[in-house]
Amino acid sequence: MIIYSSNFDDLDYINAHIRHRKFTNDISSSFKLVEHIPNPYPVELSLLNSGDTSYADFYIYKIHNNI
């Protein structure tokens, strides 16, 4: 499973249609985080409205087998 998302609880006061959620609290224990790839273009205040940044990172999970 691959998720591209922010991972914190907050409201975006500049963009009212955006709500950040800490989704990792809701991932089943059946899945194991394999890799977290930080965004190479994180949000910076100076570039906030440039369209060249993102709050989201990649989170890659696999099914965890407890055998």
Could you write out the three-class secondary structure of 4-33?
Answer: EECCCCEECCCCCCCEECCHHHHCCCCEEE
pTM for the full predicted model: 0.76
Reply yes or no on whether the pLDDT at 67 is more than 70. Answer: no
pLDDT digits (tens, 9 = 90+) for 9-66: 877 666 677 778 899 999 999 999 999 999 888 776 555 555 677 889 999 999 987 6
